[in-house]
């Protein structure tokens, strides 16, 4: 299998590519998009309280042929409507029509109220109560993680962060801290160098490496992210793109390819 499942510090396995549901409201809508992803090789769905599509995600999960145990479901505490963590997880499970989620994340450190240790103790209770098999964080920096780990009984399984070559140097301390502490990094917006910041120093090496592999530049960015040990959370309403991302799991970049992407990434910051 190209995108191998990754073992979390909770003992559970997480599929290393996920379909993200943020902004799936347009066009087909979230139900059809999630069903399309589940029908095209994705068995990991990423949603959040803030995305306001947990109910539609739940419908898609019911309508798919895959059974509950075949799909890894992540949702997040986003502080929506000022609700606390115990209330939010119960609402999310009710919206999704599930008894538990595979992963529950604190969407951002600013949502950890009144402070990170108190918030994390509530997350630990969510796992103790069997409402989430694993718990984690999103958008946490090194200082945030240090504060959390200092008081934690259960370390976060995952930190979902922005990661692509233009921010790699800036994010590297997060990756290093996570690796030392057994926390898996999940990368969102891996395609920004193509979708939002084309015309920069990455264009040349990405195009050259893509031509060498007979691949698209999107696939090379996915392979780079995978090579950094990160799980990828991506999205598209287009079936062919979704299939392309899955196929990118077969691409193994050489050390020289990775070094060329790192070097070009370090030359240009995200625009």
Residue 191's nearest CA partner among 211, 213, 169, 167 is 167
Residue 78 binds ligand ZCW (CB under 6 A): yes
What the block records as the tokens of 45 is 């769905």
Task: Tell me if 96 sits within 8 A of 71, measured CB to CB.
Answer: no
Alpha carbon distance 67, 62 (integer Å): 8
Q: Please give the size of the binding site for ligand ZCW, defined by CB under 6 A.
A: 6
- 107 annotated to a ligand binding site: yes
Residue 191 binds ligand ZCW (CB under 6 A): no
Residue 227 binds ligand ZCW (CB under 6 A): no
- Residue 78, contacted partner among ligand ZCW, ligand NAD, none, CB below 5-8 A by kind: ligand ZCW
DSSP 8-state secondary structure symbol assigned to residue 189: -
Task: Report helix, strand or coil for 162.
Answer: strand
Residue 22 binds ligand ZCW (CB under 6 A): yes
Q: Which helix (H) or strand (E) holds 18?
A: strand 17-20
Residue 50 binds ligand ZCW (CB under 6 A): yes
Nearer to ligand NAD, 89 or 190 (CB): 190
Phi then psi dihedrals of residue 183, to 5 deg: -100, 125
- Residue 194, contacted partner among ligand ZCW, ligand NAD, none, CB below 5-8 A by kind: ligand NAD
Alpha carbon distance 8, 5 (integer Å): 9
- Catalytic one among 13, 42, 51, 177? 51
Active site residue 51: yes
Tally Cβ neighbours within 10 Å of residue 119.
20
* Residues near ligand ZCW, by CB under 6 A: 22, 48, 50, 78, 107-108
Binding site, annotated residues: 107
* Residues near ligand NAD, by CB under 6 A: 20-22, 46, 138-139, 160, 188-192, 194-195, 218, 233-236, 241
Please list the active-site residues.
Answer: 51
Binding site, annotated residues for substrate: 107
């Amino acid at each position: 299998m190209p995108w191998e499942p990754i073992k979390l510090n909770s003992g559970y396995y997480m599929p290393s590519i996920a379909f993200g549901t943020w902004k799936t409201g347009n066009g087909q809508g979230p139900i059809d998009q999630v069903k399309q992803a589940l029908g095209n090789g994705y068995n990991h769905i990423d949603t959040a309280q803030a995305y306001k599509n947990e109910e539609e995600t739940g419908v898609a999960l019911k309508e798919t042929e895959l059974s509950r145990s075949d799909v890894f479901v992540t949702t997040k505490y986003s502080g929506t409507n000022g609700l606390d963590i115990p209330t939010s997880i119960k609402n999310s499970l009710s919206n999704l029509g599930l008894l538990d989620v595979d992963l529950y994340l604190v969407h951002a450190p600013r949502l950890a109220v009144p402070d990170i240790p108190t918030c994390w103790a509530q997350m630990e209770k969510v796992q103790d109560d069997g409402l989430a098999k694993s718990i984690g964080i999103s958008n946490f920096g090194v200082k945030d993680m240090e504060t959390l780990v200092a008081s934690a009984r259960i370390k976060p399984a995952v930190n979902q962060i922005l990661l692509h070559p233009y921010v790699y140097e800036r994010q590297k301390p997060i990756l290093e801290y996570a690796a030392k502490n057994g926390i898996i990094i999940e990368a969102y917006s891996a395609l920004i160098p193509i979708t939002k910041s084309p015309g920069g120093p990455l264009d040349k090496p990405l195009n050259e490496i893509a031509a060498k592999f007979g691949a698209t530049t999107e696939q090379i960015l996915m392979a780079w992210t995978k090579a950094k040990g990160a799980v990828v959370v991506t999205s598209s309403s287009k079936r062919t793109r979704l299939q392309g991302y899955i196929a990118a799991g077969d691409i193994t970049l050489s050390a020289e390819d990775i070094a060329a992407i790192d070097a070009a990434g370090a030359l240009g910051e995200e625009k």
